[in-house]
Amino acid sequence: TPVFWGKVTTRTGLTKSGSPANPKFYGGYESGINLPLQFDTTGMRSTAVTGGKFFNDTTNNGRPIDVRLYFNSNGTVTYSVNRDNTGWNTARTVPLSTLAPNGMIYVEKGNLFIKGSVNGRVTVAVTKKGYSGKGNVYQEDYLYYADNPITNPNSNDILGIVAEEYVRIKSNSNTLGGDVITQASMFSLNRDIGPDDELVSQNFLGRWKILGGIIANTTRVTATYATIGGVFQPVRGLKLVHTYDTRFMTYVPPFFPHTQNYEVVSWFE
Partners of residue 230 on adjacent β-strands: none
Count CB neighbours of 109 within 10 A: 21
Asked whether the predicted pLDDT for residue 19 surpasses 80, the reply is: no
Is 25 exposed, middle or buried, given 0-12, 13-18 or 19+ CB atoms closer than 10 A? middle
Highest mean pLDDT: which of 38-47, 140-149, 213-222?
140-149
pTM exceeding the 0.75 threshold for the entire prediction: yes
Asked whether the predicted pLDDT for residue 178 surpasses 80, the reply is: yes
Count CB neighbours of 86 within 10 A: 12
Render pLDDT for 206-250 as a digit per residue (tens, 0 to 9).
999 999 999 998 889 999 999 999 888 999 999 999 998 989 888
Count CB neighbours of 51 within 10 A: 13
66-70, 117-121, 187-191, 228-232, range with the lowest pLDDT: 228-232
Q: CA 267 to CA 63: how far, in whole Å?
A: 51
Name the pLDDT band for 268 (thresholds 50, 70, 90). confident
Helices marked H in the chain: 41-51, 96-99, 197-200
> Quick one: average pLDDT of 166-171?
98
Name the pLDDT band for 145 (thresholds 50, 70, 90). very high
> Quick one: average pLDDT of 11-33?
89
Share of the chain above pLDDT 90, in %: 76
* pLDDT of amino acid 188: 95
> Quick one: average pLDDT of 174-179?
98
* pLDDT of amino acid 20: 83
Asked whether the predicted pLDDT for residue 47 surpasses 90, the reply is: yes
> Quick one: average pLDDT of 132-160?
96
> Quick one: average pLDDT of 178-200?
97
Asked whether the predicted pLDDT for residue 63 surpasses 80, the reply is: yes
Q: CA 133 to CA 126: how far, in whole Å?
A: 12
> Quick one: average pLDDT of 142-159?
96
* Short-list 63, 155, 44, 52, CA closest to 96: 52
> Quick one: average pLDDT of 141-165?
96
Name the pLDDT band for 158 (thresholds 50, 70, 90). very high
Instruction: Give Cβ neighbours of residue 7 (< 8 Å, ≥ 6 apart).
Output: 25, 27, 28, 29, 30, 265
